[in-house]
Amino acid sequence: MTQDLILPRSDLDFLLFDWLKVDDLTRRARFAGQDRFDYASVLDIYAKLAAELFATHNKKNDSQEPSFDGERVTVVEDVGVAMRAFSEAGLMSAAFPPEWGGLSLPSVVERAGMAYIMGANVASAGYAYLTIGNANLLMAHASPKQAAKYVPAMAQGRFFGTMCLSEPQAGSSLADIRTKAVPGADGRYRLFGNKMWISGGEHEVSENIVHLVLAKIPDANGQLPPGVQGISLFTVPRRLVNEDGSLGERNDVVPAGVNHKMGQRGLVNCLLNFGEGKFRPEGEVGALGEIVGEPGQGLAYMFHMMNEARISVGLTAAALAYTGYLHALDYAKTRTQGRLRSQRDPVSAPVPIIQHADVRRMLLAQKAYASGALAICLYSARLNDDVHSLEDAAARDEAHLLLELLTPITKSWTAQWGLVANELAIQVHGGYGYTREYNVEQFYRDNRLNPIHEGTFGIQAIDLLGRKTRMKGGGALKLLSARIAVTIDSANRIASLQRHARTLAKEWDRLQTVTSKLHALPDAEQQLANAGPYLEAFGHVVVGWLWLDQALTVTDLLQGPQASDFHRGKLAACDYFFGWELPKVAAWLAVLDPVERTPLDIRENWL
Amino acid sequence: MTQDLILPRSDLDFLLFDWLKVDDLTRRARFAGQDRFDYASVLDIYAKLAAELFATHNKKNDSQEPSFDGERVTVVEDVGVAMRAFSEAGLMSAAFPPEWGGLSLPSVVERAGMAYIMGANVASAGYAYLTIGNANLLMAHASPKQAAKYVPAMAQGRFFGTMCLSEPQAGSSLADIRTKAVPGADGRYRLFGNKMWISGGEHEVSENIVHLVLAKIPDANGQLPPGVQGISLFTVPRRLVNEDGSLGERNDVVPAGVNHKMGQRGLVNCLLNFGEGKFRPEGEVGALGEIVGEPGQGLAYMFHMMNEARISVGLTAAALAYTGYLHALDYAKTRTQGRLRSQRDPVSAPVPIIQHADVRRMLLAQKAYASGALAICLYSARLNDDVHSLEDAAARDEAHLLLELLTPITKSWTAQWGLVANELAIQVHGGYGYTREYNVEQFYRDNRLNPIHEGTFGIQAIDLLGRKTRMKGGGALKLLSARIAVTIDSANRIASLQRHARTLAKEWDRLQTVTSKLHALPDAEQQLANAGPYLEAFGHVVVGWLWLDQALTVTDLLQGPQASDFHRGKLAACDYFFGWELPKVAAWLAVLDPVERTPLDIRENWL
């Protein structure tokens, strides 16, 4: 697959340099000495690796999923080849600070590059982004000695990382985890329990695997502390690591089974047993782990990785949507079928299906979803860079607050509409799209995970309505409001965008009114009952804002020598979004003001 | 899998007997001597076979898809076992008239029964409904002698049937088929060409396969007539059938490959080559076929089968949606996770997830889609019974006209929202739903075919807006309007339904206004450009009407001794549909009045 079928560089360049003004970052201390040429060069490397080493085994990853014989997990060899090249190119540590051997790239550039890898092969990309997230957590929260044990090896791609949160009985509800970590005299902990849904949980692609494990430390009576306050975080390597960095014996963590997924099959997903005694000498029981930071702070630390993982989820959804769109576009330009109404003569040649308005509708929708999803992911990544590079503490706090508010949208809107985009990509391909001989049905299957993992759609909705829109007295909402107002003001000064500016102002006002009314409801169950459509409405308005904001940039560019069809397509996608998508907001808000109570009130046995 | 996880008999009984008054049919000559007890008994048989012989190999059908070694197609043995039992129980010919050895069941009852088979195993069900549709076409349009050659063998399950329309270069555009049928001196034809997407196209499950093939008869110069007018229909058996009914040699139709589908994997799907000479003695070339009816009428005849197949597609979508819903409901009642807002004490026991309002929302949505889809399929089947059993010719014509109008909805609404239902079933299951260890991800994959085959969503949309709403001077629309008005009138007399009656009246009026405006547009491209959302809006209003009409029946029943939670659930689903779904209609109509032109106007190279 060529790079052009994975992600269009034109859009990436536009989003990064024209719209998000990533060049400006180079004036900050953290990114001193970097320039746009560096960013372009590193994006070239991501794109090349994506096309030449990742896309090439995407189907193989799917048809030859990891197998488990009760002892070992076998993954197709191509994963290791691609991951070694990825690490050797310095991409694992691309955004690590120099003291950890990294290039200190802005997160927004690293994410843009990762989108190539994800679009090319989301399963293999998983090994990378989980490892990167794991290292980022350790750099932020582990002791220097602890981090030194793992992070350099991760940067080299010798160690991979996982996050071990869920258990068979505790999926979304982490308060109910039962994995226990018993402190030993040597300062280490012995872990016992079962962890479910562990991506990259067992394999021999890397020399070692570093599991970041949530567990509870029992009290003096051996009881586990209740709730999330009792959760601590531990590093539990698959193989123990000696003081000199060499690898020791197998730790007592073993796969008890692998899940056979609908998609993302190449990324092995395991049930892991900790401390069942298999790899420990007689009498010595428990998987050996070291605590990260303070006891009881595990969930807070894990949210460091989790929030990053949520942007990664959004980015995979965006990347899959984008490559699906590009495949559909390519197909629509080459597949001939039927005739236009103005030329029904049956002896005339059939036309490429892109000439049918309904096919263009499906392509435009995919473009609006895919590029809109990419835009919000990169916007969030840019905020993350602000959090870590702005001089002014208050400005950093503001960026952080806004990022917190946008995270559930960045995760969920992309997952929901990225999936719709992939569904449309299948539809454009007709019967061919339904076969595994083509690529698009896999994109759908791969993408279907995204509304589920790292916090389901429903969890994100409650996070947005119940928490993020309320925190700091609605401070995040005020910040967002201010930014949206700037866009509306600017758009109001451009004749061709005034109509959209008015629509956005109206929808945003309405959304704020509804938000206030919901927050004022005395009954918490009622308040959050319809959080799902609230998230949908909020997401659409936010993405509409980002489309209008991009249209401002485009309108400028269209005055200059750079003006191109690419820019005209951007405006069309913006028009499409306002014309076709924003009318849906009213339908979602219809069940929020007042709260439509049927789902709340229906009794179980009526269903 | 128990029957209760496939389809709830309570809803089937309600729809058939309480709502559609199927008992009334027994007063008509065609169904004389039948009674409700007969119908109940035959439904029992369908349900039992579905649970005991079809559901049992649904996963096997998926994981061990038909294989093709270049010569033979191998299908898992369970398909043959199930199909033989199905035929032996008389279900293949359940709706055939007695002169063809059938039970002469009303179509609506046969369809209700088939929904069990489809929900249990949609791939295996395909062999059945394609054979039934094939036989129905032959009984209607073939000569008695020709029909006698195949129909009884089909009734016995010894012969299966296919429909061969598409070709690699002609999917939706049948005018462009190139398969040629050359008349021979013996009155038979020799067929040459390639047919694509042939479900059940090659296998050895049955003794023989009867292909119904669209082809063109060349003119004196060997040229194929252009357009659809030049299409004729032929029977082309896999093995020739001798005068005495015994099987002769292989005919010259061979599989050139099988498609590897996303779902419905157990139903083999082939590329068939006709007349490539493999099975014919030297010098004798072409696949031998007999013409059905008159030359040039092929497409008209095929539409007999196609319209039936479109209801079958709708029914498979409804059945898959329903079984997905029942699986999700079962899971939601047993899976515990999290706590209610009123009980956040972390030491309290987690609650079954059905106690979370958002989960009930997802269940209600599935119920509204699945049961709504089943309702429109059975409503259409009931109209089909009217077409074939009403005494009065004018009344028959009216039923036919209304059925024609509702067919694109019956096919597409069900496919679109059945799929959404299956997606929600996955979501309710969380990570488990994403694995093949559970059933729901397969339902989604199986169902994804339905918006594509037998006329894509886009084709149905053009059929509805461009043809069905205009035919006979809008006569079909007037008939539908009259029926909707009756429901609105009745609902207006019941306090609890007045609000919905007003909503329906408003939406239907608006839809009619939009329809008139669109029909009046001078530019055909513009008129049909946004037919997709028109179909969506129309479908939602029609299904809303059927929900309200059911609510009328339920309101009556709730006064009597039969009143049950099932009926309260029906009202809740109706409330859900009006509260959550009908607000979407405005969003679809927003791009139709006036016509939003972005997809129409965008240039290819802007995409």
B348 burial (CB, 10 Å; 0-12 / 13-18 / 19+) is exposed
Known active-site residue A294? no
CB-closest option in B227, B525, B586 to A346: B227
Q: Which residues contact B306 (CB under 8 A, 6 or more apart)?
A: B163, B165, B454, B455
User: In this predicted structure, what is the pLDDT of residue A548?
Assistant: 98
Residue A79: both structure tokens together: 């994963």
Check B590 against A604: CB less than 8 A apart: no
Strand-pair partners of A182 = A190
A281 pLDDT above the threshold of 80: no
Q: How far apart are CA A405 and CA B85, in angstroms?
A: 59
Q: How far apart are CA B598 and CA B607, in angstroms?
A: 12
- A144 vs B: CB within 8 A: no
- B481 vs A: CB within 8 A: no
Q: How far apart are CA B332 and CA B359, in angstroms?
A: 8
- Angle at CA A553, nearest 5°, toward A550 and A556? 150
Check B260 against A436: CB less than 8 A apart: yes
Strand-pair partners of A253 = A274
**Under 8 Å between Cβ of B192 and B180:** yes
Place of tokens 């989820």: A313
* CB within 8 Å of chain B, chain A residues 289-328: none
Confidence of residue A306 (pLDDT cuts 50, 70, 90): confident
User: In this predicted structure, what is the pLDDT of residue A283?
Assistant: 65
Check B599 against A346: CB less than 8 A apart: no
**Under 8 Å between Cβ of B251 and B275:** no
* CB within 8 Å of chain B, chain A residues 247-286: 259-263
> Shortest Cα distance from B455 to chain A (angstroms)?
10
- A98 vs B: CB within 8 A: no
Residue B234: both structure tokens together: 């032929």
Q: How far apart are CA B547 and CA B541, in angstroms?
A: 10
pTM for the structure as a whole: 0.98
- A602 vs B: CB within 8 A: yes
Contacting residues of B for A196, CB less than 8 Å apart = 431
A410 phi and psi angles, rounded to 5 deg: -60, -35
Other Cβ atoms less than 10 A from the Cβ of B552: the count is 19
User: In this predicted structure, what is the pLDDT of residue B342?
Assistant: 82
Other Cβ atoms less than 10 A from the Cβ of A605: the count is 12
- A225 vs B: CB within 8 A: no
Calculate the alpha carbon distances from A239 to A147, A150, A248, A279, B354 in Å. Answer: 16, 12, 6, 10, 41
User: In this predicted structure, what is the pLDDT of residue A203?
Assistant: 98
Alpha-helix residue ranges (DSSP H) falling in A7-76: 9-13, 36-49, 58-63
Strand-pair partners of B250 = B239
Contacting residues of A for B602, CB less than 8 Å apart = 360, 364, 569, 572
Q: How far apart are CA B82 and CA B93, in angstroms?
A: 16
User: Which residues of chain B are modeled with pLDDT < 50?
Assistant: none
CB-closest option in A341, A430, A451 to B427: A451
Whole-number CA gyration radius for chain A: 25
User: In this predicted structure, what is the pLDDT of residue A304?
Assistant: 80
Closest CA to B596 of B518, B490, B501, B487: B518
Contacting residues of B for A169, CB less than 8 Å apart = 336
Q: Which residues contact B183 (CB under 8 A, 6 or more apart)?
A: B189, B217
* CB within 8 Å of chain B, chain A residues 581-600: 583-584, 586-587, 590-591, 596, 598-600
Angle between the N-to-C axes of helices B357-389 and B531-559, in degrees from 0 to 180, rounded to the nearest 10:
90
| Amino acid present at B328 | A
Q: What is the DSSP string of B61-112?
A: HHHS--EE-SS-EE--HHHHHHHHHHHHTT-TTTTS-GGGT-----HHHHHH
- Top residue of B358, B496, B541, B582 to mutate, by most chain A CBs within 10 Å, is B358
B259 phi and psi angles, rounded to 5 deg: -90, 140
Q: How far is CA A363 from the centre of its chain?
A: 23
User: In this predicted structure, what is the pLDDT of residue A341?
Assistant: 84
- Angle at CA A95, nearest 5°, toward A368 and A297? 95
CB-closest option in A337, A575, A591 to B580: A591
A23 pLDDT above the threshold of 80: yes
* CB within 8 Å of chain A, chain B residues 149-208: 166, 169-173, 175-176, 196-197
A282 pLDDT above the threshold of 70: no
Q: What is the DSSP string of A188-222?
A: -EEEEEEEEEEET-S-SSSSEEEEEEEEE---TTS
- Domain positions in chain A: 456-607
Strand-pair partners of A213 = A164, A234
CB-closest option in A338, A361, A566 to B173: A338
| Amino acid present at A59 | K
- A465 vs B: CB within 8 A: no
User: In this predicted structure, what is the pLDDT of residue A345?
Assistant: 85
Calculate the alpha carbon distances from B174 to B168, B227, B231, B592 in Å. Answer: 11, 8, 9, 29
Closest CA to B80 of B127, B149, B137: B127
Place of tokens 């009259």: B482
| Residue count (chain B) | 607
Q: How far apart are CA A321 and CA A325, in angstroms?
A: 6
User: In this predicted structure, what is the pLDDT of residue A297?
Assistant: 96
% pLDDT > 90, chain A: 94
Do the strands B208-216 and A231-237 form a parallel or antiparallel pair, or are they unpaired? unpaired
Q: How far apart are CA B554 and CA B194, in angstroms?
A: 52
The torsion of the CA quartet A441, A445, A446, A451, rounded to 10 degrees, works out to 130
Q: How far apart are CA A384 and CA A382, in angstroms?
A: 5
The H or E element that residue A289 is part of is: strand A287-291
Calculate the alpha carbon distances from A582 to A349, A544, B506, B605 in Å. Answer: 38, 7, 22, 25
Number of H helices, E strands in chain B: 19, 12
Q: Which residues contact B222 (CB under 8 A, 6 or more apart)?
A: none
Q: What is the DSSP letter of A259?
A: -
Q: How far apart are CA A444 and CA A434, in angstroms?
A: 10
Q: How far apart are CA B214 and CA B202, in angstroms?
A: 17
Contacting residues of B for A359, CB less than 8 Å apart = 458
Q: How far apart are CA B543 and CA B410, in angstroms?
A: 10
A285 pLDDT above the threshold of 90: no
Q: What is the ipTM of this complex?
A: 0.98
Q: How far apart are CA A429 and CA A329, in angstroms?
A: 10
pLDDT in tens, A521-574: 999 999 999 999 999 999 999 999 999 999 999 999 999 999 999 999 999 999
**Under 8 Å between Cβ of B403 and B387:** yes
Cα diameter, chain B: 87
> Shortest Cα distance from A372 to chain B (angstroms)?
14
| Cis-peptide into A8, omega within 30 deg | no
Q: How far apart are CA B100 and CA B104, in angstroms?
A: 9
The H or E element that residue B197 is part of is: strand B189-199
For B532, the closest chain A residue by CA position comes to A358
A1 pLDDT above the threshold of 90: no
The H or E element that residue A596 is part of is: none
User: In this predicted structure, what is the pLDDT of residue B308?
Assistant: 87
Question: A380-385 — which CB contacts under 8 Å span 24+ positions?
Answer: A380/A311, A380/A314, A380/A406, A380/A407, A380/A410, A381/A106, A381/A107, A381/A108, A381/A110, A381/A111, A381/A112, A381/A311, A382/A20, A382/A22, A382/A106, A382/A107, A382/A108, A384/A107, A384/A108, A384/A311, A385/A25, A385/A106, A385/A107, A385/A108
What 3-state class would DSSP assign to B194? Answer: strand
Strand-pair partners of A236 = A211
Q: How far apart are CA B386 and CA A489, in angstroms?
A: 61
> Shortest Cα distance from A332 to chain B (angstroms)?
10
A364 pLDDT above the threshold of 80: yes
- B452 vs A: CB within 8 A: yes
Calculate the alpha carbon distances from A542 to A418, A475, A500, A511 in Å. Answer: 16, 17, 13, 11
User: In this predicted structure, what is the pLDDT of residue B425?
Assistant: 98
